[in-house]
Amino acid sequence: MKPPRSRSLLIGLIALSIIGSITITVIFRQQIRSWLVTPVSYVIWYINLILETVPQPIFWVILVLGGFFLSIRTILKNLPQPEFPPEPTYSGLSASRYQYWLWYISTYQISPFSSENLARNLSRLVMDVLAYQEHLTISELEEMIRTGKLNLPEDIREFLITRRLAPAQPAPPLMLRWFDRLFSRRTRQRRSPSPESLKAQQKLERVIQFIEERLELQHGINL
């Protein structure tokens, strides 16, 4: 029984490829040796030299740690993300002010960067309100706050100067942060808030209360 035509064609193409490869190798063997064989041989020799020089325990520790980090990273990517409001986008229609502040306040405890970002935007809002009510420029207002000439509660004055909801804390070790993310995603809940988080929450509530008081005061004056 004769093989099908397609099978004969495939065998012919493979045979031609092998013959062509052998022919090219014979004709350009010097170029192939200088461009491919020699560099690859040096790379293999150098890798082998490193493997023979480095003590085997260190080599295995590096391999195990590398595999562990890759495994943790893969697990974190595959775990369900915590549910937060989507970040407001500015393509097309502008995001509403409500969406803007909802996203900042809902996500400010994710990382120190998120907390600092909220603090900066919140302090800018307070400065805008005070500058409008006091008929001052931002530069004049900042100078009066630094020198204490503007009548403000001490905690609000400190917030406007430092622009932080909580004192700066050193970042936890990378391993601890990974396990924290792993735990929070696996259980779909956050760890118990730390004392620093509680202080930041209290400062946030205090700043919002101050803004409400200033806006109510302005509304009463306008009435």
pLDDT in tens, 170-220: 655 665 665 665 555 544 444 556 677 788 888 888 998 998 888 886 544
Strands of the chain (E only): list them. none
Residue 90 reports pLDDT greater than 60: no
- Cα–Cα distance measured from residue 197 to residue 176, given in angstroms and rounded to the nearest whole number: 17
Q: Which of 82, 125, 123, 87 is nearest to 103 (CA)?
A: 87
Average pLDDT over the chain, rounded to an integer:
75
Angle (nearest 5°) at CA 128 between 122 and 131:
140
pLDDT at 188: 46
User: Could you tell me the pLDDT band of residue 101, with boundaries at 50, 70 and 90?
Assistant: confident
Cα dist. 177→71, 101, 186, 201, 206 in Å?
15, 26, 14, 21, 29
Best-predicted range by mean pLDDT (40-49, 60-69, 121-130): 121-130
Say which range, 33-47, 68-82, 103-117, 176-190, has the weakest mean pLDDT: 176-190
Structure tokens at 118: 């909220």
- Cα–Cα distance measured from residue 40 to residue 219, given in angstroms and rounded to the nearest whole number: 78
pLDDT at 83: 53
pLDDT at 170: 60
Cα dist. 59→6, 66, 102, 164, 175 in Å?
51, 11, 49, 44, 21
pLDDT at 93: 46
Q: Is the pTM of this model over 0.75?
A: no
Cα dist. 41→29, 31, 33, 187, 216 in Å?
15, 15, 10, 51, 79
Structure tokens at 88: 């407001």
Instruction: Between 83 and 31, name the one with better pLDDT.
Output: 31
Cα dist. 203→104, 155, 159, 211, 215 in Å?
15, 8, 8, 12, 18
pLDDT at 175: 59
Neighbour-count burial of 102, counting CB atoms closer than 10 A to its CB (0-12 exposed, 13-18 middle, 19+ buried): middle
